[in-house]
Amino acid sequence: MCSMQGRVPQWLIIPAVLLLWLVISHPPQPEQPSPPYPHAEIIDRAADEFGVEAELVAAVIENESAFNKQRVSAEGAVGLMQVLPSTAEEAAAEMNMDEYTPERLFEPEMNIRLGTWYLSNLMKEFTGDTVAALAAYNAGPARVESWQNLPRWKEKEGIDRIPLMETRSYVMLVLTEYDRLKVAAAGR
């Protein structure tokens, strides 16, 4: 009787040689770099125009609509950045956009430009405080201004100071995605 210890069975040799030949003769091709999110060119243009980081805009879109341009919320917010028609109208008037109509909020270019303008204005209104600006994007600037008058807001730093759980969760999710996208961008 013959012992198989230390020997490779003959029936494995041919498949192993074929696999080795395939790996050597067909090395994996490096993947072409691709944007880490949809509508990257539009997002980059709007971010540059309004002085907001593209990764922050993309993180807002991911959390607002998961990049679904047809999304409409129960409150009537529309498109990728979930812009309310009243906010879009205000933004379009500020930017002298005669071509704006509420139906165009479903178009990525229009929606991202108006939503980024709004996010940029919130960043300015809250003097660069990203947490407050994101909270205002979710809950409205008047509500965040009232929260800032609470002792709790002044006593704590960071996201814990947001009194509304929904908004606190929203800000945490956006900031987590924002950090992930910044790391991905740094690796490109």
Q: Which of 24-38, 81-95, 131-145 has the lowest mean pLDDT?
A: 24-38
Residue 32 has pLDDT above 50, yes or no: no
Its pTM surpasses 0.75: yes
Specify the pLDDT at position 185: 87
Specify the pLDDT at position 70: 97
The one catalytic residue among 55, 64, 90, 107:
64
Active site residue 64: yes
Mean pLDDT of 55-82: 97
The pair of structure tokens assigned to 53 is 């980081």
Query: pLDDT averaged over the chain?
Result: 87
- DSSP string for the chain: ----TT---HHHHHHHHHHHHHHHHSPPPPPPP--SSTTHHHHHHHHHHHT--HHHHHHHHHHHHTT-TT-B-TT--BTTTTB-HHHHHHHHHHTT-TT--GGGGGSHHHHHHHHHHHHHHHHHHTTT-HHHHHHHHHH-HHHHHHHHTSHHHHH--SGGG-S-HHHHHHHHHHHHHHHHHHHHHHT-
Structural domain spans, the chain: 40-186
Mean pLDDT of 45-54: 98
How far the first Cα of the chain sits from its last, in Å, is 60
Specify the pLDDT at position 31: 44
**pLDDT band, residue 12 (cuts 50/70/90):** low
Residue 11 has pLDDT above 60, yes or no: yes
**C-alpha to C-alpha distance for 160 and 163, rounded to whole angstroms:** 8
CATH number of 40-186: 1.10.530.10
